[in-house]
Amino acid sequence: MKSLQKTSFKANLLVFAIAIALVGCKKDKAVDLSGNYTLVQNRPIELNPKGQTAVELVVTAIEDTRCPPNAFCALAGLAKATVSIKDMGIAQEKNLTLYIGYNLPKAQKDLAKININGTSYIIQLRDITPYRGTDTGEKTAYLMLSKL
């Protein structure tokens, strides 16, 4: 009987140790940062997902050569925003230039693939305001972040 109790105790102890190891190794799921973001030029926003490293997004430059409203232009023009993405945990920064407009050359894209806290996203420039020639308000870029 003692032999059976020792074996049972050892088996239970082994099962308990394995369960603790599995729970201890469980990875936290990455927080999905997908969404629409409005960034005024040179005003950073911080994405601080619970339990993960903070990331800072800032639009450092906006240029707009789109044809003004009610004007006749030979070319439609384009607008571009330079976006800085800073991973605060590893002090790494990535700069992207995103474009919007008609007939963009292949090298000029409105979206890019980025990595935030080990998760892949597509960042896309959706719009820039104010529209050239209207001069109403601060230069603002509208970005969309989509988890892959």
Q: Decide if 56 is inside a domain.
A: yes
Angstrom distance (rounded) from CA 23 to CA 21: 6
In the sheet with 78-87, reading across from the earlier edge strand, the strands are 45-47, 55-64, 78-87, 92-101
Cα four-point dihedral sign 56, 62, 68, 72 = negative
2 three-class SS: helix
Is there a contact between 84 and 94 (Cβ–Cβ < 8 Å)? yes
- Rounded to whole angstroms, the Cα distance separating 63 from 104 reads 15
Nearest to 96 by CA among 118, 116, 125, 53: 125
The answer to whether residue 7 sits within a structural domain is no
CB 126 within 8 A of CB 101: no
pLDDT (tens digit, 9 = 90+) per residue, 68-94? 888 888 887 888 999 999 887 776 788
Residue at 137 is within a domain: yes
Could you tell me if residue 8 is inside a domain? no
- Identify whether 41 is part of a domain: yes
If one compares 117 and 61, the residue with the highest pLDDT of the two is 61
Q: Which domain holds residue 134?
A: 31-147
| Count of Cβ atoms closer than 10 Å to residue 121 Cβ | 20
Question: Quick check: is 12 in a domain?
Answer: no
Q: Work out the mean pLDDT of the chain and round it to a whole number.
A: 80
Residue 26: which pLDDT band, with cuts at 50, 70 and 90?
very low
The answer as to whether 110 is a domain residue is: yes
Contacts of 109 (CB under 8 A, 6+ apart): 98, 99
Secondary structure class of 128 (helix, strand, coil): strand
Domains identified in the chain, total number? 1
Looking up residue 115, the CATH number of its domain turns out to be 2.60.98
Q: Is the per-residue pLDDT at 9 higher than 70? A: no
Q: What is the pLDDT of residue 102?
A: 75
